[in-house]
Structure 1
Amino acid sequence: MSSIDVTTWSLEQTSSDDHTPVPPPPGGHLRVVRAEVPSPEFSRFLYTAVGGDIGWTDRLPWSYEQWRQAVDRPGAETWVAYDRGTPAGYAELDAQPDGAVEIVYFGLIPAFRGRRIGGHLLSYGIQRAWDLAERHPGWEATKRVWLHTCSKDGPHAMDNYLKRGFRLFDTQVESEAEVAQPGPWPGAYA
């Protein structure tokens, strides 16, 4: 099996003032809604639909129970963008005990890329990360919002993060086994 070098960048915001939001695309068709009922099936659908063509594979071998634990833990939130009722992408948040919120996954389903949805969805997810404590009484206010992106992600990912006010704080390069694009079904991107 061949391998590829993958660069992973870690980015952060340390104040809500760092965030540079972008409005929704024109037309008024886009809605961003929290998936309030934890659903392993829906989360797996979003993960494979968004990440299938860019090599997201780390969660593919997960059992139903692992998916359930990921979406049903305290501080886990999934925010889904809908374009006229169809899921277009999502942002998965994970609150951490130190007052940080990680944007664990973020992206758009391929058919919705290039429609000016990503900037707004990311902005929405960032704002939800900064105000997460308001939805969880007794929680500490968010002190930091952070994420990872890598060289396998879409060509506009890093630019979107930087334009939203994230700053680079770490870079790692690792060799990974090259895998076929899993897609939401075999041959989806052939």
Structure 2
Amino acid sequence: MNIYFKILSIFFKIGLFTIGGGYAMIPLIENEIVTKRDWISKEDFLDLLAIAQSAPGVMAINIAIFIGYKLKGIRGSLASTLGVALPSFVIILSIALFFHNFKENQIVERIFKGIRPAVVALIAAPTFNMAKLAKINRYTIWIPVVSALVIWLLDFSPVWIIIIAGTGGFAWGKIQKRRSGESNSK
């Protein structure tokens, strides 16, 4: 099978069966690309995920672009992006055409209420996996907790949290490098 068609079909399947957006797709993408096919290492996946989260735009499209590019350059990126976007486009178009027929339907309303907890779980699962891969431990757990609380309670912009964390991480790395250089010279 053509590799580009394979990439398109994998991302189409992920886009078709994921409710909840890009973050809910993360465990499915990881399972298909990292675990099942071993196309990308866990570390590379985490790096691509961090870049996709930092880039402006929709998370699902961003992660598809970066993974497709990592796999097969621009053509891979186009295949993965088309694959992940096409199901949503078709579903949203169908809903827009026929929504007036079922917007008051109690069964549809109950289905969507039942889906919500599953979406929360799909978003929470990659968060714990990323924490594990990022080597968050009992000494560093305060950083994401304080960041989340500051964003939530004080309505602080996440952009500033990223800038502060990046600057702090860079400074900490410089301090660690300087300390290891001093201990090696003694």
Measured against the shorter chain, the TM-score band is under 0.3
Give the number of the structure whose alpha-carbon radius of gyration is greater.
2
Higher strand share: 1
TM-score for the superposition, normalised by structure 2: 0.26
TM-score for the superposition, normalised by structure 1: 0.26
With CA pairs under 8 Å and 6+ residues apart, which has the higher RCO, 1 or 2?
Answer: 1
